[in-house]
Amino acid sequence: MLKLNVLITGSTGYIGVQLVKLLIKHRNVNIKYLCGKSSVGKNISFYDKSLKNEKLPKIVKFSHKYLKEVDIIFSALPNGEAQLLSKSLLKKNTLIDLAGDFRLEKTSDYLKWYKQKHKAPNQIKKSIYSLPEITGKEIKKFKIISCPGCYPTSILLPLYPLIKYNLVKSNNIIIDSKSGYSGAGRGVKKKYKNQNLDESLRAYGIGFHKHNPEIDQMLKKITNKKVRFSFTPHLSPMFRGILSTIYLDLNKNINLKKIHSILQRFYKSKKFVKVLKINSLVSTNDVINTNNCHISVCKSKYSNKIILLSAIDNLIKGGSGQGIQNMNILYNFNYTEGLK
């Protein structure tokens, strides 16, 4: 059995810890190195007590010499860090980035939305933005795999097929997304120290959230029409999970049943995407601690409109689980390995 040696950078963040918890159950993976900065010398169980009895390496400071010993590098570092790491990759290495370093194809877009200059522009052509259910077949050509953000994952999975087959109007899409506060990273409570995150709902990034361009980029690839959408994210009083509500205008001669049928067919063989019965109520509670995305097509009070609901766990399907899905595809492992 093929066994990959894996290094995880940013291993102590919410997504990094979740990645460790999934990979210890993966039959084809050996976690060789866990890397951090302020956490050097600690056990990963310091950040999650459920890992206390697992045989895992202590956290070390990243060193380029480790690249000779590993096959896969998972990066859950802040934006900009994976770009620097990518310049040192060896022929045997594949980088799977869970942050935003290689999500955008244009360096000008990266500068505009992430407010920093791209540090590895020549590496972009070696990377692919890979939402597994849609672009998974293409990833074997690339050494850098960029996993979509959590919000775009919850939005693109239900929306992509409808834009692709020209079923809905693309000039006035309204997207309202609510996420658990873990999506803002381990420093979220310090950032919002004067607010009670467990009892308040907060809108942020209105009109200019950094996930806008990757949604736009993905949809532009499948339509010649200008896609115009408004996306507003919210921090919700829960730790994890995302619920996205998408309001759409139907094209002529398209109805709710047609939309539902197309989504069912598109995801029929995709084990992690569940298209529920029409008008099903979707809850983050149904997808927490899974790699699933639940999608519901709902009737509007207007006959020419529909409402899509989409729920995921931002730390798994919107992060670590998606990274593992891409790895499984890349190495022809069982599609669900480590994700059941």
For residues 160, 163, 168, 169, the Cα torsion angle rounded to the nearest 10 degrees is 120
Q: CA dist 272 to 207, 281, 285, 324, Å?
A: 30, 18, 16, 13
Measured between alpha carbons, how far is 145 from 141 in angstroms, rounded to an integer?
10
Q: What are phi and psi of 271, to 5 degrees?
A: -65, -20
- Alpha helix segments (H runs only) across the chain: 14-23, 81-86, 107-114, 132-135, 150-164, 188-191, 212-220, 256-266, 321-330
- Overall size of the chain counted in residues: 340
Within 8 A by CB and 6+ apart from 196, the residues are none
Q: Which of 35, 147, 150, 293 is catalytic?
A: 150
- Strand ranges for the chain from DSSP E: 4-9, 29-35, 59-60, 72-75, 94-97, 127-129, 144-146, 173-180, 202-203, 229-236, 242-249, 273-275, 293-299, 305-312
Measured between alpha carbons, how far is 162 from 247 in angstroms, rounded to an integer?
12
What are the structure tokens assigned to 12, written together?
Answer: 């102590």
The SS3 call for residue 47 is coil
Long-range CB pairs of 158-161 (<8 Å, 24+ gap) are: 158/244, 158/246, 158/263, 158/295, 158/308, 158/310, 159/219, 159/246, 159/308, 160/131, 160/134, 160/218, 160/219, 160/222, 161/262, 161/263, 161/266, 161/267
Q: Which amino acid is at 38?
A: S
147 is catalytic: no
The answer to whether residues 124 and 107 touch, using CB atoms and an 8 Å cutoff, is: yes
Please list the active-site residues. Answer: 150
